[in-house]
Amino acid sequence: MPLTNHDVAVKLGAQPDASGGYPGSAYISRGLPVLGGCEGCGATLAPYNAYPSVSGYLRCSDCIGDTGFDSWDEYADHYANLGMTEGGAP
């Protein structure tokens, strides 16, 4: 499967807290939303099931198709080419 927002946060240095989970601040502090909606079907998305798409919107696992990022390098290159910092939402 393509990269999720959780994968992006971990790549950007997010660490689990004492409970072993990732607090919302781990995402928010990296410019990633804690909740979002799928561009295709409107499903509610949290970091673990939110797939960034080349469209700039998030998509669910059913709707991401081949519009996601298969690797961190692909993701970082895409945002670098848009003049954005890595992981930084517009």
Residue 41 binds Zn ion (CB under 5 A): yes
Q: Which is nearer to Zn ion, 41 or 80 (CB)?
A: 41
Instruction: Pick out residues in 49-88 that bind Zn ion (CB under 5 A).
Output: 60, 63
Report the alpha-carbon distance of residue 28 to residue 34 in Å, rounded: 7
Please identify, among the stretches 4-12, 15-23, 39-47, 81-89, the one whose residues bind Zn ion according to the rule CB under 5 A.
39-47
Distances (CA, A) of 72 to 43, 44, 52, 64, 78: 24, 24, 11, 16, 10
Closest CB 53 distance from Zn ion, rounded Å:
10
